[in-house]
A and B are shown apart, each in its own frame.
Chain A
Amino acid sequence: MDISLNPGTEDLIAVRCCDVTKTYGSGTAKVSALRGINLDVYRGELLMLVGPSGCGKTTLISIISAILQQDAGRCEVLGRDLTTLEQEEKDQFRGASIGFVFQVFNLFPALTALENVAVPLLIKGVAYKSSLAQAQTLLDSVGLASRADAFPGQLSGGQQQRVAIARALVHNPELIVCDEPTSSLDHKTGHEMMNLLGDIAHRSDKTLIIVTHDNRILEFADRIAHMEDGRITDIGTGKARGQLL
């Protein structure tokens, strides 16, 4: 299936995957996780990746995030061809241009909410005090200014995910990759989270790629890519897709 963009819209592309394949293991244990993925994601777009477990969603976002290396095909993210980057360049690229929101939040239990938010800035080498000042602004914007000194264990699931979102945004990345961001949250909190993410994406022209199993949030997507058995089988608008599922 050819899902490439129309000619003349290249400047609007944040992510472009062409015939990306990825295989795990070898011999009889060989598993094809991706079997020729073609996908364009626009700047400022909120794209959701859906599909059954084991269909390759996580592998795809790992490749887009420069965490995994594909076996074949090309993957351009924010104008950089990831196959040409050295490991150190990939680390720098991730640190500067990609924000992550994880399913299980993955906050550092020993750091306060404020310090957790500041981590991406510390990785970039920003001074500690300056990092905290910027982190405080982000924490304010997700409505957790009063819980800055709380440790993750003292926060509710929703609050932890807000901290994770603030952490994903604090270094002003162009691409945000979210992995099941609402699966650990109740319906109401999940909706609040998606409102927050959608608002941020549209307001600041950031690209969001969200892997989800949660049908209740599909309405927030601009487009939804359906994956099955290592391939994108269908792609459509959020609302339409939500009705289909």
Chain B
Amino acid sequence: MFYVALKMLMGDRAKYLGLLLGISFTAFLVTFAGCYFAGFMTRGFALISENSSADVWVMNPAVDSAALTTNMPDSALQRVRSVEGVQHAVPLMLGDVDVHFPNGRFQSFQVIGVDNATLAGAPFLVNGASPEVLRAPDAVIVDAGGTSGKLQTPLRKIDQWPHDGVHLDVPTRELMPGDELLANGRRIVVEGRSKTIPRFPPRPLLYTTYSNAARILPAAMNLLTFVMVSRQPGISAHQLAQRIEQRTGLRARTTDDFKKDTVRWYLINSEDVGDIVTMLVLAMTVGFGVTGVMLYMFTYENLRQYAVLKAMGTSRRTLLSMIFFQASVCAFLGAGIGIGLCALIGAGAATIDFPFRMMWFTPLLGVLGVLIISLAAALISIRPVLTLEPGVVFSGR
């Protein structure tokens, strides 16, 4: 009877294709929403991903996310280095600064101060050059950090550092090596541009040495935001993190745990994420509604055929199996098409810096979502079939 169910399903091509399209769209929407969300979250812990050589991140006990910059005293670095099992530990300083552009415009940047000696944490330049350029006095590397148009500086000399006020609506160009800016009133020199993982929320970045960062950031008692630790052989990252916490009283997290903490922090604290999730849930609800109604209508429109089958002796169990089979076929085919489409579009979108990341759970989310709604629709469709009086197949009924 599954063959009959399949033929009933595919018999009316237009209706079947419409149904499949609706389910594919829902699967696409759900999967894309998941990938979009994963993309944003990936950007949320971009700093951690960039520094993949760090096994353990050490921070102020009050910090539970890469988005927070509650600092520690510089002595914390030496305390961490003294813990047994630490191969090496380097400092990382984060802070925000308003940068004064030559035409008078101000732009907020996140400053990332990396270890003076090793430059660990500094990115390679877009032309492939080494971050060694940071060793020059006042040197910085600028990065769009997922923004666009924030690194524009005046094109003409006449619009740079003018004496007659600001020159905002003037022709501009991208910052390039040799450009000078003022950060918190201190001179900085652009030595190159990098293209790291875009941030969430998007913000332009200034990479510089730890000492230069300390020079340009507003004065504060504590400047050390994170200590990035590499472990010695023979000790796991978890064990080392535990040991650092016990010995120093600081918070120490493995790279994976710190990413999870950051995602959790965004989920709880970021209103942007809440808004995105609300929008996605709404979109998914609409998709689910469309799928459910279409499947229900499909069964409802075939009621007469079910009545004929019932009259001819088809048991309730067989009828139910047929309906669930039809729903499952639609769900799996639609999910396949929707997820395939999502992967194709996502691959294209990722090339233009769209926050898209297909993680293992996102296609699963799409399949499960569509399967659940299809089976729920089938469940709702069952009632009219079960309560259907097979006598309707007779004349005048």
A residues with a Cβ closer than 8 A to B are 53, 58-59, 61-62, 65, 67-68, 87-88, 91-96, 98, 100, 102-104, 106, 108-111, 115, 119-120, 122-124, 128, 179-180, 183, 211
Contacts and interface: CB of A to CB of B under 8 A. Distances in A.
B393 A95 contact: no
B391 A68 contact: yes
B389 to A, nearest CB: 8
A14 to B, nearest CB: 18
B interface secondary structure, majority: helix
Contact of A115 (B7, B12, B312, B318): B7
A32 B17 CA distance: 46
Contacts of A111: 4, 7, 11
Contacts of A110: 7-8, 10-12
Given A91-B314, A100-B312, A123-B312, 16 more contacts: A58-B396, A62-B394, A67-B311, A67-B390, A68-B389, A68-B391, A95-B313, A95-B314, A100-B393, A102-B395, A103-B394, A110-B8, A115-B4, A115-B7, A179-B393, A211-B395
Contact of B395 (A67, A119, A120, A183): A183
Interface string B74-101: 0000000000000000000000000000
Contacts of B310: 91
Given A87-B316, A92-B313, A123-B312, A58 B3 contact: no
Contacts of A62: 391, 394
B397 interface: yes
Nearest to A61: B394
Nearest to A98: B313
B395 A108 contact: no
A123 B7 contact: no
B4, B308, B310, B312: most-surrounded residue (chain A CB, <10 A): B312
A84 to B, nearest CB: 18
Contact of A122 (B4, B308, B311): B4
Contacts of A88: 315-316
B187 interface: no
Contacts of A93: 313
Contact of B393 (A92, A106, A115, A124): A106
Given A88-B315, A95-B314, A122-B3, A179 B394 contact: yes
Interface in B353-397: 389-391, 393-397
Contacts of B391: 58-59, 62, 67-68
A119 B312 contact: yes
A104 B395 contact: yes
Nearest to B304: A106
25 contacts: A58-B397, A62-B394, A65-B311, A67-B391, A68-B391, A88-B315, A91-B315, A100-B311, A104-B395, A106-B304, A106-B393, A108-B8, A109-B11, A110-B7, A110-B8, A110-B11, A111-B4, A111-B7, A115-B4, A115-B7, A119-B4, A122-B4, A123-B312, A123-B318, A211-B395
Contacts of A109: 11-12
Contacts of A91: 310, 313-316
Contacts of A104: 395
Given A58-B394, A58-B396, A110-B10, A123 B316 contact: no
Contact of B308 (A87, A106, A115): A106
Interface in B305-340: 305, 308-316, 318
A99 B389 CA distance: 18
A119 B312 CA distance: 9
Contacts of B11: 108-111
Contact of B309 (A68, A102, A123, A180): A123
B395 A180 contact: yes
Contacts of A119: 4, 309, 312
Contacts of B4: 108, 111, 115, 119, 122
B1 interface: yes
Nearest to A65: B311
Contacts of B318: 123
B8 A123 contact: no
B397 A122 contact: no
A92 B391 CA distance: 17
B4, B318, B394: most-surrounded residue (chain A CB, <10 A): B394
Contacts of A106: 304-305, 308, 393
Given A58-B394, A179-B395, A108 B312 contact: no
B356 to A, nearest CB: 40
Contacts of B7: 108, 110-111, 115
B394 A102 contact: yes
